[in-house]
Amino acid sequence: MHSDTLIIVNPASGGGRALAAEPLVAGYLAGQSKSIQFVHSRSSENVRELAANGAAAGYRYVIALGGDGAFHHVVEGIRGTGAIAGFFPAGNGNDIARDLGIPADAVSAAATFCHSVPRAVDLVRVQFPDGRTAHFIGAGGMGLDAEAAHLANTRFKSWPGVTRYLAGALRAFFSEPAFELAAELDGTRWTGRAILATVANSSSYGSGVRIAPDAKMDDGWLDVVLVGDIVWTRLVEAIPTVLTTGDLRFDEVKRFRCRRAVLRADRAVRVHGDGELLGESPAEFEILPAAIRVMVPGTAAG
């Protein structure tokens, strides 16, 4: 019997957590009489290539066994095909899984997958002046959050959970000055000094930092959060709130909802999506409603 499900394992995810979860996931799915094909990725780019090849080969489901980054690349790989994405979280953050209602444990996610349905969710398209285009499914943006994500994946990679991102954010705050931002948000313009501009399709990033608590992954809107130039004590004061409710009511925080956002800075500023470095400013972000299907618990939508 030809398998209809391809699981792409990122051996590096979660400091080896994905690799350790593979035999447990395989054993569970075998017990459910599921015909599954496993393959290991060698790099982020290879995840995308394996996903694209899987979709082209006729796999109905292409699943990431890894972190948000692995799922990000699976989504990019199958985008525009008939394949349905799946996610068995085994990374450090798992923010996207949380917003999709997928259990944070890979084996529990596999059990949930067996009773899940396809749900149409939005993607965010990012375009750069040189013609390059990228996509993400969760949250992205430019400035301090992109720097924090980069440091969390490099310098602070061995730190546990959200401490990786917080350490990266504090390091970036003191090493990267605020920038002059010009934002076009549908018909609204905003200019001023900023430390970050987040463009969110999901509510959190960075292992549970609730930057856009009202964001929904299937509502056809971008939730944009602009944070002005603030003192470091203000940044520290915000941490408990963004780790719980996300209801941050500082004058320096401006929130918008739009379908298209163009962000320009007075210098080159890193741009990320789902914690993956995509390029540098300026960048144009646009929501693509119901652009991909993902297996999630609950009732089918879209």
> What confidence tens digit (pLDDT) does each residue in 210-268 have?
999 999 999 999 999 999 998 888 888 888 888 787 888 888 999 999 999 999 999 99
Q: Say whether pLDDT at 62 is over 90.
A: yes
DSSP H stretches of helix in 1-136: 17-31, 44-56, 68-78, 95-100, 106-113
- Please report, in angstroms and rounded to a whole number, the separation of the first and last CA atoms in the chain: 30
Q: Are 235 and 177 in contact (CB under 8 A)?
A: no
Q: Are 11 and 18 in contact (CB under 8 A)?
A: yes
Q: Give the pLDDT confidence score for residue 172 in this predicted structure.
A: 87
Q: Give the pLDDT confidence score for residue 20 in this predicted structure.
A: 94
How far apart, in Å, are the Cα atoms of 146 and each of 29, 109, 202, 204?
A: 37, 28, 16, 14
Q: Are 109 and 207 in contact (CB under 8 A)?
A: no
Q: Give the pLDDT confidence score for residue 299 in this predicted structure.
A: 54
- Answer yes or no: pTM beyond 0.85: yes
Q: Give the pLDDT confidence score for residue 175 in this predicted structure.
A: 85
Residue with tokens 């959970």: 161
Q: Give the pLDDT confidence score for residue 302 in this predicted structure.
A: 40
